[in-house]
RNA sequence: GUGCCUAUAGUGUAACGGUUAGCACUAGGGUCUGUGGCACCCUCGGUUCGGGUUCAAAUCCCGAUAGGCACCCCA
């Protein structure tokens, strides 16, 4: 690269706040996580869906709701030249629900089991495990009957995902937030209770009492924590149907031996949730980055966007958070065994021939590394060594005349000349023996 | 969105307001264009940006930007 004196005048760029590059060094984590999710999806019979990143902003306004910070404060919105008001998706669920309606997936076998992996955008203050663009793995079960077994299945999927990634000490917290019949009644009771203690509440909670009373149960202020101990417990106030539904979910979890804690303070930030809500955490302060998978039931969502009442349950997990936990817990995935060989040349003519040989070997499905741009053989072998490669192929003048290639085992230095036409076979044989 | 903390080569770090900004790793090259790991030698590369104070700023002040932490909220 040529140096210039124009450095001052050339603008340099940084990535936008809260948006990060994923570099090759992190790819093993991504491959592993995406691979595990895809495999689990397959085994549970979930089909992949990818709705667009951009949707009409109203899709989220109408569903995620008034009291939702995710939509009210954190959504990236834009107006197109044509005047459309769009939003970068701040979550997956409404888009998938929209796709379900628009593509008439309700006409296919019910329920539809769908999963998605892709970027999500929220304009938040970044922290560890919290970025403005991040990636979610999302599972949704839409349609069919309102069977609590689907709630348990979604939880089971995320439980398996964490297990597959060797994330141990996971805690599952469960709660039910009722339906449109029992929730308003409970809300009223809760408000009444807190109104009597309004003077003891913290500033935020006084505000919450008006905007989102359920959130009062989530406050960490000392006084408020004390107050909520005597607050009415939603689990006692659920209507018979909701209570039975929740009980069944828990029974199914028992049946597949997934442990859980009941947490009546657990609420969701989004308006469309009903009944089951859950969150999973990795224990340990080194992994203190909030919930990993989380989700719940959202039977009313489809109605909010012009469909009929459709049972639905789902959840999502942040990939970057998983990676943060894996790194914090120093969980490393075993590097793939060396399935690569290395081709080195000695001399200009050999360099040309090696270039052609590379292409040939690759066409036969052999993974070959090289450092043909380096002239000395030792420099090339150094690269091979650094890449942890076990078999080096060496091509020089002599070999070209003999129509052969030296096959050298880098672990013990033993080498032999192999005829070019026998080479692919020989390589495959050696790799297989490892 | 609020409050607090931080910012020196790619990474990790050093430098009473006055040093050629030092060190280790990494990277590139060489000793060694017919053989890697070890060793030795050489090289590239830095004070986040913009203002100010001062004879003098990596160092002090202000602002911006980014990162982290707590809150808010959330995957």
Model confidence pLDDT, tens digit, residues A228-280 = 778 888 888 899 999 999 999 999 999 999 999 998 888 776 778 899 999 99
In this prediction, residue A337 carries a pLDDT of 54
Give the residue ranges of chain A where pLDDT is below 70. 1-10, 65-67, 269, 284-288, 334-338, 434
Q: Which helix (H) or strand (E) holds A41?
A: helix A27-44
Q: Which of residues 353-412 of A touch strand B (CB under 7 A)?
A: 374-379, 381-386, 392, 394, 396-399, 406, 408, 410-412
Strands A367-370 and A261-262 turn out to be unpaired
In this prediction, residue A269 carries a pLDDT of 66
Complete edge-to-edge strand list for the sheet that includes strand A312-318: A47-48, A112-121, A133-142, A312-318, A294-297, A274-282, A170-176, A261-262
A70 touches strand B (CB under 7 A): yes
In this prediction, residue A8 carries a pLDDT of 39
Rounded to whole angstroms, the Cα distance separating A253 from A10 reads: 60
Q: Which of residues 118-177 of A touch strand B (CB under 7 A)?
A: 122-131, 134, 136
Q: Which two tokens stand for residue A224?
A: 């408020």
Say what the pTM is: 0.90
A67 touches strand B (CB under 7 A): no
Q: Which residue has the tokens 């140096």?
A: A3
Rounded to whole angstroms, the Cα distance separating A273 from A313 reads: 9
Other beta carbons less than 10 A from residue A371's beta carbon:
18
Rounded to whole angstroms, the Cα distance separating A41 from A153 reads: 11
In this prediction, residue A266 carries a pLDDT of 84
In this prediction, residue A163 carries a pLDDT of 95
In this prediction, residue A434 carries a pLDDT of 65
């Amino acid at each position: 690269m040529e140096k210039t004196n124009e450095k001052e005048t050339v603008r340099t760029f940084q990535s936008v706040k809260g948006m990060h590059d994923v570099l090759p060094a992190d790819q093993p984590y991504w491959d592993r996580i995406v691979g595990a999710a895809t495999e689990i999806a397959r085994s549970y019979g979930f089909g992949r869906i990818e709705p667009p990143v951009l949707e009409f902003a109203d899709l989220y306004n109408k569903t995620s709701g008034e009291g939702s910070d995710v939509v009210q404060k954190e959504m990236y919105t834009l107006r197109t030249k044509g005047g459309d008001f769009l939003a970068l998706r701040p979550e997956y669920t409404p888009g998938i629900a929209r796709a379900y309606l628009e593509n008439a997936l309700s006409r296919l076998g019910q329920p539809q089991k769908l999963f998605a992996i892709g970027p999500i955008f929220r304009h938040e203050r970044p922290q560890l495990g919290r970025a403005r663009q991040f990636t979610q793995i999302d599972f949704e079960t839409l349609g069919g009957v309102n069977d609590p077994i689907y709630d348990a299945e979604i939880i089971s999927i995320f439980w398996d995902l964490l297990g597959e990634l060797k994330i141990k000490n996971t805690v599952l917290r469960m709660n039910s937030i009722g339906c449109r019949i029992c929730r308003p009644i409970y809300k009223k009771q809760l408000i009444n209770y807190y109104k009597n203690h309004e003077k003891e509440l913290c500033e935020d909670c006084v505000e919450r009492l008006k905007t989102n009373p359920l959130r009062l149960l989530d406050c960490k202020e000392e006084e408020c924590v004390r107050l909520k101990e005597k607050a009415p417990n939603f689990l006692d106030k659920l209507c018979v149907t909701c209570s039975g539904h929740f009980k069944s979910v828990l029974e199914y979890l028992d049946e597949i031996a997934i442990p859980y804690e009941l947490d009546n303070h657990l609420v969701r930030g989004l308006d469309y949730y009903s009944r089951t809500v859950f969150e999973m955490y990795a224990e340990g302060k080194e992994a203190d980055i909030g919930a990993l998978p989380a989700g719940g039931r959202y039977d009313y969502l489809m109605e909010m966007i012009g469909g009929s009442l459709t049972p639905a349950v789902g959840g999502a997990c942040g990939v970057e958070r998983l990676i943060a936990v894996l790194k914090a817990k120093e969980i490393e995935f075993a590097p793939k065994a060396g399935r690569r060989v290395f081709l080195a040349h000695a001399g200009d003519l050999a360099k040309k021939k090696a270039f052609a040989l590379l292409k040939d070997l690759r066409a036969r499905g052999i993974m070959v590394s090289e450092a043909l741009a380096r002239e000395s053989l030792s420099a090339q072998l150094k690269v091979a060594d650094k890449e942890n490669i076990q078999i080096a192929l060496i091509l020089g003048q002599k070999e070209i005349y003999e129509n052969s290639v030296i096959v050298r085992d880098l672990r013990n230095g033993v080498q032999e000349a192999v005829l070019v036409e026998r080479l692919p076979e020989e390589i495959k044989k050696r790799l297989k023996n490892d």
